[in-house]
Amino acid sequence: MNNQWLAFFQGVVVVKVQGQGAERFINRLSRSRVPVWQVSRQGEQTISFSCSLKHIHEVRKAARAFEGDVRFYRGEGFPFLLKRLLKSSGFVIGAVGFLVIILLLSNVVWRINIGGASPKMEHEIRKELSRMGVEKGKFILGLDDPETVQKKLLNRVEGLTWIGVEVKGSTFHFRVVEKTEPKEKKQKGPRHLVAAKDAVIVKLFVKKGQAAVKRNQFVHKGQLLVSGLIGTEEKQTKIAADGEVLGETWYKTTVEMPVTTDFHVLTGRQVQKHLLEMKTLRVPVWGFKNHSFANHKKDEQVHSVSFLGIKLPVNYVEKTYYESEQTSRSYTEKEAELHALKAAREDLQAKLSEKAVISGEKVLQRQFTNGKVKLSVHFQVLENIAVGKPITQGDKKNARRKKHNEYSARKPE
Amino acid sequence: MAKKWGEQMKGWLTKSMNLPEDVMMDLPRITMIGQLHIYIENHRGLLAFSDKEVRLLLAKGQLLIKGQAFTIKTILPEEILIEGKIEKLVYLEG
């Protein structure tokens, strides 16, 4: 028996036979092995039946010998459906195009919301974002993922404490927490200036108050530098001492520097691959070439594809292979020492305040062991050693005494 | 005479050897499912067809099927499946 589904795919023709002896026509067909079905009488002289499209030639041949009228009334099945579809291909193209456009537009940045930021900060963030490519009308797929955007923003925008990045459909939401830097407290209360650390005074610049030390004098930590008590002994007034006391301080650091170091560097050559990921299935879309790098670093970025704000179970993956090279750097002992010294200097500079200047250095000890240079260095630094210390009632007498005998008064503490 | 003798021989063989008659004697095998379907094997062609009457040529004589709303579901050189409401089945001796 013929399969109805097979017939559907091959195509079915409905034939109408009109004339005397239509039965003979059907007999002839069945004798020439043409399967015929749904034979029914339509009228006095008309019989209609269906047959497969692939037997249409036999039907035609039989029709030539038949004296009546044979008409192919209607076509059914897949080939005819296809034909009709092609005829109205505009609709199909339109429908597909519509889906494609919606899909593309769903993955475009439409809005960037920044909340919790001052106008200045918002401008700053927007500027940085557009530098990173996060702008209205850009494809989300081509952008960094939210975590990277967050990291980059935190690194590049000054004054950000935290920023929350969220991609909701086609909108970027940013929640900003700004650093609220405390305004420098106006020291209103009366105070002295005392030494923050042991030092030799190099320069005194007193704005307010009375200097209690001289140049080239050695001071201990906590020693009074500028007194906030002015006036005569009998009629003293308390003020907030202000000024700068540059002192020479000392730091001793030890540094180690290996003579030879191995590290990986990127050569700049890279191969990119684009894939579509569905659950565990990954279909490469672009970049079929395999990399031929001996050493490489792999970077993988996964973007999710959304349709009308709904996440599709499809991810767009960008894989980049960077070629890397192992190089080794080796110094001579002399060079290693220089680099170690430089590293020590930078290390110290990072610890000191901005205004501090390293005025001198001296290598105390140098050792070469196990392929390493070990240095212990003594640095002389010029920095402001004055820090404020409020004058309390009880201090008043002490302060007066200190003026005459600064060092001994402080020492027992 | 020879033909008749041959047929007698066939009849005897079928009876004595318990062979199916339709194969041996060129007879139609008719299967009916209630009044709904009728399936005829071993016919010799369609003679007349309308929605109330179907006439089939057999090896010997004709078969007349009467009923209502007939359609031929399938027709092959020796098989035919008719659907409709079958009321009568008549053998016409030829």
Give me the pLDDT at residue A408, please.
Answer: 46
Q: Are residues A62 and A116 in the same domain?
A: no
pLDDT attached to residue A183? 65
Given this model, what pLDDT does residue A335 score? 82
> Over its length of 413 residues, how does chain A's per-residue pLDDT go in tens digits?
457 788 888 899 999 999 888 888 888 888 888 888 889 888 888 899 999 888 899 899 888 888 888 999 888 888 898 888 888 888 889 999 999 998 888 888 888 888 888 888 888 888 888 888 888 888 877 777 788 888 888 888 887 888 888 888 778 888 888 777 666 666 567 888 888 888 898 888 888 888 888 888 888 888 888 888 887 777 778 888 888 888 888 888 888 888 787 888 888 788 888 888 887 888 887 877 777 777 888 888 888 777 777 777 888 888 888 888 888 877 787 888 888 888 888 888 888 887 888 888 888 888 888 778 888 888 888 888 888 888 776 555 555 554 554 444 444 44
Domain ranges of chain B: 26-92
Compute the distance between CA of residue A139 and CA of residue A172 in angstroms, rounded to an integer: 12
The answer on A236 and A335 residing in a single domain is yes
Domain that holds residue A138: 111-178
Instruction: Report long-range pairs for A272-275 (Cβ below 8 Å, ≥24 apart).
Output: A272/A318, A272/A319, A272/A320, A272/A321, A273/A318, A273/A319, A273/A320, A273/A321, A274/A316, A274/A317, A274/A318, A274/A319, A275/A316, A275/A317, A275/A318, A275/A319
Distance from CA of A58 to the nearest CA of B (A): 14
Chain B hits for A23, CB-CB cut-off 8 Å, are 46-49
Q: Are residues A116 and A10 in the same domain?
A: no
- The domain defined by B26-92 folds into Immunoglobulin-like (2.60.40)
Chain B contact for A215 (CB, 8 A cutoff):
no
Chain A residues closer than 8 Å to B48 by CB: 23
- Residue A93 inside a domain? The answer is no
Residue A101 forms part of a structural domain: no
Determine, for residues B77 and A30 on separate chains, whether the beta-carbon distance falls below 8 Å.
yes
Q: A279 — contact with chain B (CB < 8 Å)?
A: no
B48 pLDDT more than 50:
yes
A360 touches chain B (CB under 8 A): no
A35·B76 Cβ contact <8 A: yes
Residue A351 and residue A238 in one domain = yes
Contact A39 B75 (CB under 8 A): yes
B74 chain-A contacts, CB cut-off 8 A: 1-2, 35-37
In this structure, are A174 and A195 located in the same domain?
no
Total Cβ atoms within 10 A of residue A245: 25
How many domains does the structure of chain A reveal? Answer: 4
Q: Do B49 and A35 touch (CB under 8 A)?
A: no
Evaluate whether A407 touches A220 at the Cβ level (below 8 Å): yes
Contact residues of B toward A, CB < 8 A: 45-51, 70-77
Cβ within 8 Å, pair A41-B74? no
pLDDT at A100: 92
Based on the domain organization, do A241 and A337 belong to the same domain?
A: yes
Mean pLDDT for the stretch of residues B36-63: 91
Is A1 in Cβ contact with B77 (below 8 Å)?
Answer: no
Q: Domain check: are A313 and A384 in the same one?
A: no
A365 beta partners: A376
The pLDDT of residue B1 is: 63
Q: Does A26 touch chain B (CB under 8 A)?
A: yes
Size of interface A-B (CB pairs under 8 A): 51
Asked if A23 is an interface residue toward chain B (Cβ–Cβ < 8 A), one would say: yes
